[in-house]
Amino acid sequence: MITTVVGAGSWGTALAMHLARVGHDVHLCARDPALAARMCQARENADYLPELRLPDNVHPTDDIAAAVASASMIVWAVPSHGTRDMLRPSAHAVRTGTVIVSATKGLERVTWTRMSQVLGEELPAGCPIVVLSGPSFAHEVARELPTAMVAAATDAAASARVLKDLRGKRFRLYATDDVVGVEIGGAYKNVIAIAAGVVEGLGLGHNALAGLVTRGLAEMTRLAVAMGGRHETLAGLSGLGDLVLTCTGAASRNHHLGVELGQGRALAEILAGMRMVAEGVNTAEGILALGAAAGVELPIAEQMASVLTGRTHPMAATEALMLRPQKHERH
């Protein structure tokens, strides 16, 4: 079975390694020809997952159109801000009926469109899209540490195929048809993770962190439900599970960025020192736009957007949240 993974960052590479281990013949597509050549020669992705050997049935390439044309399943692992531009030149080569697995968390800038919607707009008709989300650090998947995720699709047959074809002894999937809930959870949790990092960077303690994560989950749930998602989805792996991992895990790029902000570093300086994308930076404004359209109040996202744009100091944002009018916990 030929499977193509588009996106040779840490997450795309980890998924390619997993797919190869469970029996797929994998094309791993990099936009940068030099990166593809280095991976072919060294048999590792030293830029993103150093010292981890690529299985023999992972074939790095920069010829995306050829790779997607030969695939019966395509895993899309390109950051949200680059998804449409990277997809357009090769979308015509995708065969009708090819299952598309969206492994990108985030929203498209300006349009604030969910990733499954972007893929659906650009790909040929008849390509079912399955959203893969949940608590999953790339380096742990690459090292075969146990991971549980969710596959979300309205096409039951496509969802069943993804569950079957990605299953492994250290990789477990659960199915859902709540695509909206899964994608909103996957995008929103990165904003809350930045806030969690700010709490740590300011030295505000575990009480504050626990309160933030809990109220962050409430915000995520309100928005997802207002957009057509379900409460129980946000209480599951793609909501609470991913939120806990991203807010507490040392490997979380969004959490790291928040810590640096809390310690007084400027956003531009932090981003200049990061090789990989912190999706929450691009997502905060979009979450607020979706909330405004749905008529949902999102105070944590509002304060984080203000911090990220430099309008508010992190400590002032924290105090603003604490001094909001008190209300019933269900609201």
**Binding site annotation covers 105?**
yes
Q: Which of 164, 169, 189, 327 is catalytic?
A: 189
Q: Is 27 helix (H, G, I), strand (E, B) or coil?
A: strand
DSSP string, 67-103: HHHT-SEEEE---GGGHHHHHHHHHTTSPTT-EEEE-
Find out whether 133 is annotated in a ligand binding site.
no
Q: Measure CA 169 to chain center.
A: 23
- Residue 325's φ and ψ, nearest 5 degrees, are -55, 135
31 among annotated binding-site residues: yes
According to the annotation, is 253 in a ligand binding site?
A: yes
Residue 279 marked ligand-binding: yes
306 is in an annotated binding site: no
Q: How many helices (H) and strands (E) does the chain have?
A: 16, 10
| 12 annotated to a ligand binding site | yes
Residue 254 marked ligand-binding? yes
Is 102 part of any known ligand binding site?
no
Q: Does 189 show up as a binding residue in the annotation? A: yes
Q: Is 10 annotated as a binding residue?
A: yes
Q: From the CB of residue 66, how many other CB atoms can be counted at a distance below 10 Å?
A: 15
Supply the DSSP string of 171-216, one letter for each residue.
EEEEEES-HHHHHHHHHHHHHHHHHHHHHHHTT-HHHHHHHHHHHH
Q: Is 189 a catalytic residue?
A: yes
Is 48 flagged in the annotation as binding? yes
Nearest by Cα to 79 from 275, 242, 239: 275
Helix, strand, coil percentages, rounded to 5, for the chain: 55, 15, 30
Instruction: Give 28-66 as a DSSP string.
Output: EE-SSHHHHHHHHHHSEETTTEEEEEPPTTEEEES-HHH
Residue 120 annotated as binding site: no
What is residue 108's three-state secondary structure?
A: coil
- 8 marked among binding-site residues: yes
Q: How many residues does the chain have?
A: 331
Residue list for the binding site for NADPH: 10-11, 31, 48, 105, 138, 253, 277, 279
**Active-site residues: which are they?**
189
Residue list for the binding site: 7-12, 31, 48, 105, 134, 136, 138, 189, 242, 252-254, 277, 279
Residue list for the binding site for NAD(+): 7-12, 138, 253
Residue list for the binding site for sn-glycerol 3-phosphate: 105, 134, 136, 189, 242, 252-254
Residue list for the binding site for substrate: 105, 253-254
